[in-house]
Amino acid sequence: MITEINERIVAGVIFKNGSMKIKWFIWKNKKINIKKITYKWKTKTGAKNIYNFAVTDGINVFEISFSPEDLIWNLEKVHTF
């Protein structure tokens, strides 16, 4: 099942050599540790670049996005199995 969320989150990210490694994020006061980035892609909203990621905690898949202009992370969708 895919659930649309569209909420801001706090993310723990390592920026190194021009890439991002997402380690965890907090949603609804719960820390979710990321085991793997399964897919990444870039989109535009107007003139803004948005970096999108599909990540997994080993159980569910989460679609999260990052706006570097605003430094805002969002949880877009949750895929539960």
Joined together, the tokens standing for residue 40 give 């990444």
Q: What is the DSSP letter of 59?
A: S
Joined together, the tokens standing for residue 72 give 């805002």
pLDDT in tens, 32-44: 999 999 999 999 9
Residue 34 phi/psi, 5-degree rounding, is: -90, 125
* Domain definitions of the chain by residue range: 2-79
pLDDT in tens, 54-81: 999 999 999 999 999 999 999 999 999 8
Whether this prediction's pTM lies above 0.85 is answered by yes
